[in-house]
Amino acid sequence: MSFRRVAIMGLGLMGGSIGLAVQRHLPGIATSGFDSDPAVRRRAAERGLAGTIHASAAEAVEGADLVILCVPVGAIEQAASAISGALAPGAVVSDVGSSKQTVCRALASVLQGACIIPAHPVAGTENSGPDAGFATLFHRRWCIVTPPAQADPAQVARLVSFWQALGAMVETMDPEHHDRVLAVTSHIPHLIAYTIVGTASDLEEVTRSEVIKFSAGGFRDFTRIAASDPVMWRDVFLHNREAVLEMLERFLTDLAVMREAIGTGDGETMFDLFSRTRSIRRSIVALGQDDPRPDFGREDHEQAALRTD
């Protein structure tokens, strides 16, 4: 591994997980960290999320040959400005933001002349903050690297090796393609989850206790996604607006087809779609991207909890 010192800006779920993963998998690399919130910095020091925690961004990046911005996409520009005069010559600057086109533009305009290679590890949970991170978050998860056209291939290869060493599988694509793919695989599903949970809680004829009591009917899985960090997701929709709107149009068209099928009693249309989607779920399980056990293995947890009670 050719990096010697990694600086992590933002010590929440992603930054904390990177810090822990580097210390576990790449113990030869020194880690330093900064977060704008002093309480987060204190907790990060207690948990040992990075080898050294600094009170300023400029101090944290001193001597680092890889800097990773792990802040909400709306804060990327500000985080980049805070390090712009302090970067070591030749340092690679990357990030983990969930949308890429606006992030790439912001980094290029603030850090002119720096070696910028944005990335997005497609790994996460609904938890955030300095207590949420864990060293194995990236194991067998994809990390999408979106290098600018003029990026030095040797530096891109260094970053790819870094993510592979943390356990990730890496794919390279251009930022525009990334934003369209993630709009449909991640951003629209989150929008649907936020909306359906909001709709259910607003329904007057269904009481709050009924929503909670009968949640295992599918609703429970939406509530997990809808518990995701509101700042992060607000920023994702503000920053990936075009791709999300395009995919949302497609989704609404398909939803209208299903509404029509239900209205006219067209069982064949429903059956065809549901069969196709079932095979997609099987492919995801076959690729090791989800738990094949019924109910995502929850029954096992529940049985184990009963046994220990």
CA 167 to chain centre: 16
Stretch that binds ligand NAP, among 116-124, 169-177, 283-291, 296-304 (CB under 6 A): 116-124
Stretch that binds ligand NAP, among 13-21, 83-91, 147-155, 201-209 (CB under 6 A): 13-21
Binder of ligand NAP out of 31, 32, 98, 146 (CB under 6 A): 98
Residues 209-268 that bind ligand NAP (CB under 6 A): 229, 232, 236
Q: Which residues pair with 271 in a beta bridge?
A: none
Neighbour tally for 6: CB within 10 Å: 25
Name which of 192, 202, 198, 194 is nearest 230 in CA terms. 194
Contact 134, 20 (CB under 8 A): yes
Which secondary structure element, helix H or strand E, spans residue 282, and what is its range? helix 267-286
- Strands (E) across 202-242 are located at none
Which residues have C-beta within 8 Å of that of residue 248, sequence separation ≥ 6? 188, 191
Number of helices (H) and strands (E), helices first, in the chain? 14, 9
For residue 96, state whether it binds ligand NAP (rule: CB under 6 A).
yes
For residue 14, state whether it binds ligand NAP (rule: CB under 6 A).
yes
Site string for ligand NAP, 123-152 (x = CB under 6 A): -xx--xx--x--------------------
Q: How many chain residues interact with ligand NAP (CB under 6 A)?
A: 32
Between the alpha carbon of residue 245 and those of residues 151, 197, 240, the distances in Å are: 30, 21, 9
Residues 28-87 that bind ligand NAP (CB under 6 A): 34-37, 40, 70-73, 75, 78-79
Site string for ligand NAP, 175-214 (x = CB under 6 A): ----------------------------------------
CA 308 to chain centre: 34
Q: Work out how close the CB of 183 gets to ligand NAP at its nearest, in angstroms, rounded to a whole number.
A: 13
Q: Work out how close the CB of 125 gets to ligand NAP at its nearest, in angstroms, rounded to a whole number.
A: 6
| Interface ranges with ligand NAP (CB under 6 A) | 9-15, 34-37, 40, 70-73, 75, 78-79, 96-98, 120-121, 124-125, 128-129, 132, 229, 232, 236
